[in-house]
Structures are given as structure tokens and as C-alpha cells.
Structure 1
Amino acid sequence: MRVLLVSHYYPPHVGGIENVVHQQATHLARQGADVTVLTSGPRTATATDDGVRVIRQAAWNGVERRTGVPFPVFGPGLLSAARRWALWADVVHVHDCLYMTSWAAGTAAALTRTPYLLTQHVGLVAHPSGLVRGVQRAVYRIAGRPLLRRAAGVMVVNGKVADFVRRQGVRHDDVTHFANGVDSALFQPAGSDADRIALRQRLGLPPDRLLVLFVGRLVEKKGYDLLLKAADPAYDLVFAGDGSDLRLFDGRPGVHHLGALPPAELADVYRACDVFALPSESEGFPLTVQEAMASGLPVVTTDDPGYAPYRLAREHVTLLPRDAGRWRAALRSMAGDAARRERAGDWSRRFAVANFAWDEHATGLIRTYDLATRS
């Protein structure tokens, strides 16, 4: 089967959607699919070591640099490239309806009569800028909504996004819950306390402090600012990600900023820390929570209705409202209870291994592609 995956970014660009697409492409290729990825970057066509063909189209990334919104702006060559590869493909799989790559791929699929599926990762993002929120609504109304409605099927990672796409006019039966996978071999617990201390020394982190880890872009919807307000002498905060005014981290005792890291280095950061904390908004079940669970970390995150389909055990996963005082109290409690951290971390690892295998994810994708090509 020839599969065209379409994403606005792809590694080495760091981010959740691009990591998902990379894993999908790799595991689909391992199961015998002929996979091409259409994305942004220096214009090249290369076959990677994983057997995936990556087609990169030049794009301007000023929107991301200036506002933190990952929105590459492409030239006119994008549509012709999308049409050429849609003609080649048996099925087109578009990631998120908000991006120019998705609009081009949807148009190309319609022109070539190639069936396309769409994974919608998020709903309307609660950005602090009223202008950005207004632009989002306009883009969804003008471009996103028609793209969602024309898809042969829409896959979502949580119930909240399912509700969002149905409000855009997608039929109930066309929406499928489809969890992302996680690489449980890459993201796994530290082998011993000595291994954890060695990792901390290499990363420049204190060996004798309880470390609470945040992973994600440093934008308001991720809640990094709320976590900073929840700082406490009982623990240090570790931030892996870029995107905000980094002067916020300067000179703050007990706060460590590591910047944006590729997956292999990020896996070591998870292993070096004790607790994962993500006070994000309107995300449901982001990839970083899955990575933290696979790494055997206790998880503290926002009590979001998007988690409902996963039936998380609340005695092991701490779900909180977005209130700095509540977060500080919960993290202080966890810092003082090593046995609780161990129980929660063990449960996290077991849950991730049982529910987020990429091989099974790819098998499910191939079944979904087969159905789309037959209809």
C-alpha cells in the first residue's frame, strides 16, 4: 500500500505532532507500506534509514518565531507537490486541519480522487492573544471545516477533540477514537538510582533534589507559567522546551531550563526526573504524558474531560484544576511520599506498555486505510 502522510513539521523539528507522524511513518514502513511524508523544510526528497521518503517544501517560519504558533507559510509549489504525491498514493493521511499542508493535501486528494483520512490532534487552542483566537476560528470556518467534512474518516485522540470535530459538522459515525502510540523501548525507566544520578550529572541537574519535569512548548496553553507559580522548596522544577521569554527562568532558584530536545535526549531527561507535571489546557491526552508514563513517572496533569476514554486510575494519576495553589500542594505531598511515587510510576509504565504500542497503532492504521480505499 502506498501511503502519503502530511504534516506541517517533521523531525528534526521538535514537537508532538511531528513525533507522532515520524513514528507512524516508521512503523507503517516496517509493516510493508510504501510511505512518503510531505512536510516543510529545505526542498529535498530523501529515503531515511527507516525506509520512509520525506518530501520537504520550503516554508517561512516567522509566525512560530514571533508568536509561538507553529504555522509554516508555504509558497505556491506546495499544491503541485501535494497533487503529484496524491496521484502516487493509495491513501492520503492528513494531520490536523489547521495547516497549509493539510489544505493542499485535501485539495490534491479531491483533484486526484484519492481517499484521505484526517487525524485532528486538538480543538480550538486557548491562546492568550484575542487576535490569534480570532484567526483560529476564521481558519477553522473557512478551511478546516470543509476539510474535516470531506474526509473519509476523522481520527481523534480524546473525547474533547471528538466533540470539537462534530461541532464542525463531521458525522458521528465518521469519528474514531485512535490513541497515539509511544516508543516504550526508548522511553523507559532508569535502570537504577545510580543510573539516574549519572544522567543528572550529565544534564547539569542536582543529584539530591526531587525533580518535577515539564515537557512542552513554553506557551500559555501548556501551563508552564502556572507551574512556575507553583514552585516550592520541596522540589526543583525542570523545563524541557522553548518558545517563551527565556528570561523568566534567569536567576530563579530551583528552576532548570534545558531547552527543546530531540526524543533520544528527552528520554534521558524523563529518566533523570521523579515526577511529571503538565498543567496544560484543552489538550486531552498529549504525547508527553504518554512518554512520561512509559518512562515510569508519576503523572500530575490537568483534570481534562479528554482523558475520560482512557479510564485512568485516579489513585495513580493526579488530575487537578488549573490552580497554582492546588498544584503546589499536590506536588509537595508527592515529594514527601516516596512509596506513593513508586506505586504511581509502576502503574504508569504498565499502562503505557499495555495501551500505547506503536506496532498495534500501525496495524490499526493499515486496517483503516484499507477500509477507506474500498469505500
Structure 2
Amino acid sequence: MSTTEAPVRVLLVSHYYPPHLGGVENVVRQEAVRLAAAGAEVTVLTSGERSSSTLEEGVRVVRVAAWNGAEKAGVPFPVLAPTVLTTALRLARRADVVHLHDCLYLTSWAAGLAALLTRTPHLLTQHVGMVQHPSAVVRGVQQAVYAVAGRALLRRARRVITLNASVAAFVLRHGARPERAVHLANGVDTELFRPAADADERARARKEFGLPEDRPLVLFAGRLVPKKGFDLLLAAHGPAAGHDLVFAGDGDSAPLAGRAGVHHLGTLTPERLAVLYRACDVFALPSTAEGFPLTVQEAMASGLPVLTTDDPGYAPYALDRGLVRLVERDPEVLRAALAALTGDQELRERMGRYSRGYATGSFDWTEHAATLLRWYREHRG
């Protein structure tokens, strides 16, 4: 940045932010911290148990009080106090650019309206498309939101940022201007998420979590909801399986209780999750409509072989399909693929080396932030 150029004042908007745990909030935190380190003046608008404004890692974090009871039913949708609109107006008025994360949430609606009223340009990162939730009511609400508020936000956005081909197609169907749609991969902290240095470190990690030392471990990290495919992994795990399953995440844990060879560790901080990756042998995430989730990037950075869904969203990443297993969401297919991986250490090692090399070469947060900063400067008034 030129010494004569004023810092870009950016308002990042997300329905959740750490210490709340999850993928989107981790992405927004990384963007916020990296942008601040690059010289931007960063404010985050998000939800919280109570309204507050704090300085965290060089970032001003403004939380609006919200009711979060729906998350217990598997619907992560905070309902914010009415002050979210006046707060968004105040913050948008002093920002050069507003960056919304996902158009499904009240935070984005309020900040999008505030950007319109204050004539502040906005960008929008869309993380996912339609979630095939088991509840018809939830699916109907999603469709209505995307058809109205979502379409308006996507249409007005100076840039619509997507992480994979499936979501790129989704935003175009819902109003995004084709010439404004761009692909930008998330980064990953390759120092935090790294392979185990040796067998001793892996053994210590297993002991820390109370995991068996003499069994291959297949890790699932994510919410325990059908969209993520945890139920498919359970269905694929019979009494004769040659591996144990390890689940890290919250949600409906009842199907996991009392199952032989199944370990549930609950929701973990990124630091604890990084240790768990190093304890395990394979990462499996048979999710749907996600493309390239952050946990897959973390697993690759941790040097784990990856087994995930054969989703067209992976197309922009040009993965070597011989070294990343992209399979159908079918228990029998998963069973066969996991048996092949857990039974072949040499294959796991080759896949793990590929994973680590791909992550270090392709997922750089500093480069990600530099790209955002360039776009912000381009679009600020």
C-alpha cells in the first residue's frame, strides 16, 4: 500500500464469529486478521449473547444481541435484536466497502440494506447453495429467502465470491451478474494444521483424546447432520470394519452412543482439532452441496488422505483423483473405499504427501487477503 493512500475501511459481516465454532466464522476471522495485518481498518458485524464492541487481534468486533435457540435444532440461524439495523447503518456509513458472508442471514440483510441506504458498495461471499435439510419447512424458508433477499443482495453485489463450481452455478441462478462472479479459494493455516512429526507425536495425540493406539482411525469433522454424511459413515461401519470412526462436532450424537469402534469428541477449537488431525489416519466427509469445505482443506494441510463426495464443485481445483478419493454418497461405496485406504499404509502415505503439498501450494491466507484488498480498493467510492 502506498504511504499516501488512506487505509481501506472494510465492514465484514457474518452471522457468527469466534468464539462460536464453525467453518464460516473461522474464514471470516482469518480474513479479518489478515486484512488488518495488511493495513486495512477492519470492523466485523456479527451476533452474540449480548451487544458489545471489542478490539480483538487488531479487529473491531461489534456483536448484536441475538437469540440462538434454533441452532439446537440443527438450524444455525441467530435471530438478532432490532438494533442490528441501526448498528449496521452506523458501521456502513463509515466504511469504504461492506463484505457480506452468505445472503441467508439477518446480519447480511441488515448490512445489505444499510449499504444500499448509505450508498456503500458491497461484495458478497456465498459459501453454500441450498441445504437439503430434512425439514420441508426449513427448505421452504431457504427457497423464499434466496428468491427475495438473496436475489437482491446477489444482484447488487459488486463482486460475488464463490468457493466451488456448484455454488457458482447457484448464485448465477439466483441473480448474480455473470461478469461479477469470481472464484476465490479459502486459505488454511498450514503451520497450525500440519502432519505429525513422527510416530511418537501421533501416539501422544491419540493418548490425549483417549483413542486406541493400535487401530486405523477415520476422522469426521463437522456438524452431525445428514447434509454432512455422518449417518452414511455409521451405516458403512459394520462389526468387521478394520478401523475406528472418530467424530468431532456437535449435533445429534444419539446414533453414535454405544457403538463399538465409534468415538465422539464433541466440538473442538481449531487448536484442538489440529491435534486430532495428527492423531488420525484418514479424513472422511461424505457431505452434499458443499464443494470444498474448510475441514477438507485442514485435513489436507495435516497430511491426511481425503475421502469425500464426488461433487462437481471440486472441478475448479483440478485435484488428482488418484490421490483424493471422490466417491458416491452410498454406504457400500464408502465401506469399500475405507477398507482399501485403511488396509494400505503405503497408499495412505502417498495420498497424505499429495494432500500436504496441494494445501501448502494452493491455500494461502495471505494471498487470499491480498486479493480481497485489491478488490476493495477497486470498488470503494
Q: Name the TM-score, length of structure 2 as normaliser.
A: 0.96
SS where residue 46 of structure 2 aligns? strand
What are the within-5 Å matches in structure 2 for residues 168-317 of structure 1? 168-232=174-238, 233-244=241-252, 246-317=253-324
Q: Partner residue of 1:52?
A: 59
* Deviation per residue, 1:192-246 (Å, 9 max, x gap): 11100001101111111100000001111000000111114210000000011x2
- Offset at residue 63 of structure 1 (A): 1.2
Letter in 1 for 2:87: A
Aligned CA RMSD, in angstroms, stands at 0.8
Match of 1:338 among 326, 342, 345: 345
Q: Partner residue of 2:369?
A: 362
SS where residue 380 of structure 2 aligns? helix
- Offset at residue 277 of structure 1 (A): 0.1
Q: Partner residue of 1:79?
A: 85
Match of 1:93 among 99, 103, 107: 99
Are positions 1:34 and 2:41 aligned together? yes
Q: Partner residue of 1:147?
A: 153
SS where residue 234 of structure 2 aligns? helix
Letter in 1 for 2:344: D
Q: Partner residue of 1:116?
A: 122
Q: Partner residue of 2:4?
A: none
Letter in 1 for 2:134: P
Q: Partner residue of 2:13?
A: 6
Letter in 1 for 2:27: V
- Offset at residue 329 of structure 1 (A): 0.4
- Offset at residue 143 of structure 1 (A): 1.0
Letter in 2 for 1:331: L
Structure 1: 5+ residue stretches without partners? none
Match of 2:76 among 57, 70, 76: 70
Identity %: 62
Are positions 1:131 and 2:134 aligned together? no
Q: Which moved more, 1:96-105 or 1:125-134?
A: 125-134
Provide the rounded CA distance (Å) in 2 between the counterparts of 1:179 and 1:366.
Answer: 15
- Offset at residue 296 of structure 1 (A): 0.3
- Offset at residue 116 of structure 1 (A): 0.6
Provide the rounded CA distance (Å) in 2 between the counterparts of 1:280 and 1:181.
Answer: 20
SS where residue 369 of structure 1 aligns? helix
Are positions 1:347 and 2:354 aligned together? yes
Provide the rounded CA distance (Å) in 2 between the counterparts of 1:265 and 1:300.
Answer: 22
Provide the rounded CA distance (Å) in 1 between the counterparts of 2:190 and 2:342.
Answer: 25
- Offset at residue 75 of structure 1 (A): 1.5
Provide the rounded CA distance (Å) in 2 between the counterparts of 1:262 and 1:2.
Answer: 29
Letter in 1 for 2:271: A
- Offset at residue 170 of structure 1 (A): 1.3
Letter in 2 for 1:51: G
- Offset at residue 39 of structure 1 (A): 0.3
Provide the rounded CA distance (Å) in 2 between the counterparts of 1:272 and 1:35.
Answer: 36
- Offset at residue 69 of structure 1 (A): 1.3
- Offset at residue 371 of structure 1 (A): 1.5
Provide the rounded CA distance (Å) in 1 between the counterparts of 2:160 and 2:284.
Answer: 30
- Offset at residue 20 of structure 1 (A): 0.3
Letter in 1 for 2:165: G
* Deviation per residue, 1:261-304 (Å, 9 max, x gap): 11001100111100000000011000000000000000000000
Q: Name the TM-score, length of structure 1 as normaliser.
A: 0.98
- Offset at residue 129 of structure 1 (A): 1.2
- Offset at residue 354 of structure 1 (A): 0.4
Runs of 4+ in 1 over 3 A off after TM superposition: none
SS where residue 58 of structure 1 aligns? strand
Letter in 2 for 1:166: L
* Deviation per residue, 1:74-128 (Å, 9 max, x gap): 1210000001010111111000000000000000001111111000001111111
Provide the rounded CA distance (Å) in 1 between the counterparts of 2:61 and 2:114.
Answer: 18
Q: Partner residue of 2:3?
A: none
